[in-house]
């Protein structure tokens, strides 16, 4: 193989991965799959796509070896193919944060009213959990909590928060977390809690960042049959 042919072939492979990241919805699918394995129906619901469009996007990601799949009965389940995929997604996110002023503006406009009190960094939250002076709630869907969550966190999915307010202590700070630094579930939970008179903040990152930092996590044991 000639040098030119080699370079062309290599850059074509790099472009295959780059093109897989070239869709906002495919990036969102990767963000959801960072929480764990999901079937196509769940992914469609989480991303606001039709089943057909979800399947098409997943096939592009699979062709680039970014996701893998398995079949169980009539359902197809997808997962990130390798931890390197999540690292690649974070690198893309970090690059956008560093180079695009619009990212900073969007963050400021959306989170500004929520983080008048700053978001809680991971290490500060860990210290406060150990000291027992904070209640941590996981506002992701139950299946994501069951797959893995911050040790000691309560599962209070955002969809259930309104009717479960009485379960939360009113005399201590509540810290909500979800999927990552740009996940809106925790932000919406904090808004609701503050309207109801609770002292609430969100964690600065999400569960995947907490897990990958080697901080304490646990999973909900599957029921025995």
pLDDT of residue 131: 92
Domains, in order of start, for the chain: 3-86 (1.10.10.10), 107-218 (3.40.250.10)
CA–CA distance, 122 with 209 (Å, rounded to integer)? 9
Residues 26-80 pLDDT 10s: 999 999 999 999 999 999 999 999 999 999 999 999 999 999 999 999 999 999 9
Instruction: Kindly report the number of other CB atoms within 10 A of residue 178's CB atom.
Output: 27
CA–CA distance, 61 with 17 (Å, rounded to integer)? 8
Please name which of 129, 160, 159, 155 lies closest in space to residue 144, comparing C-alpha atoms. 155
Check the CA dihedral 94-95-96-99 and report its sign. Answer: positive
Residues 153-183 pLDDT 10s: 999 999 999 999 999 998 899 999 999 999 9
Rounded to 5 degrees, φ, ψ at 179 are -90, -25
Q: Are strands 200-202 and 134-138 parallel, antiparallel or unpaired?
A: unpaired
Q: What does pTM read for this prediction?
A: 0.85
Non-local CB neighbours of 67 within 8 Å, separated by 6+ positions = 29, 30, 33, 58, 61, 78, 79, 80, 81, 85
pLDDT of residue 193: 95
Please name which of 136, 156, 155, 151 lies closest in space to residue 201, comparing C-alpha atoms. 136
> What mean pLDDT do residues 117-130 have?
88
Please name which of 75, 35, 67, 50 lies closest in space to residue 157, comparing C-alpha atoms. 35
Rounded to 5 degrees, φ, ψ at 23 are -120, 130
Check the CA dihedral 80-81-87-93 and report its sign. Answer: negative
Residue 183 known to be catalytic: no
Catalytic residue chosen out of the listed positions 176, 178, 190, 193? 178
Could you give the percent of the chain with pLDDT greater than 90? 86
∠ Cα 136 216 161 (to 5°): 20
Q: If you count them, how many residues does the chain have?
A: 225
**225 pLDDT more than 50:** no
């Amino acid at each position: 193989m000639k040098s030119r042919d080699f370079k062309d072939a290599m850059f074509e492979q790099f472009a295959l991965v780059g093109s897989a990241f070239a869709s906002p919805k495919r990036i969102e699918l990767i963000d959801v799959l960072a929480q764990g394995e999901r079937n196509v129906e769940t992914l469609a619901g989480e991303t606001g796509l039709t089943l057909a469009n979800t399947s098409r996007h997943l096939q592009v990601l699979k062709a680039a070896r970014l996701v893998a799949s398995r079949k169980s009965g009539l359902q197809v389940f997808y997962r990130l193919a390798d931890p390197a995929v999540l690292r690649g997604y974070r690198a893309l996110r970090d690059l956008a944060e560093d180079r695009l002023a619009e990212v900073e503006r969007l963050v400021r406009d959306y989170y500004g009213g929520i983080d008048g009190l700053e978001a809680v960094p991971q290490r500060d939250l860990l210290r406060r959990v150990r000291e027992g002076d904070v209640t941590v709630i996981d506002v992701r869907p139950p299946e994501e909590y069951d797959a893995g969550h911050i040790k000691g966190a309560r599962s209070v999915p955002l969809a259930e928060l309104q009717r479960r307010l009485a379960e939360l202590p009113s005399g201590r700070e509540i810290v909500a977390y979800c999927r990552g630094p740009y996940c809106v579930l925790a932000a919406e939970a904090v808004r609701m809690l503050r309207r109801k008179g609770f002292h609430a903040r969100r964690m600065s990152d999400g569960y995947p960042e907490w897990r990958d930092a080697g901080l304490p996590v646990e999973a909900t044991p599957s029921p025995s049959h």
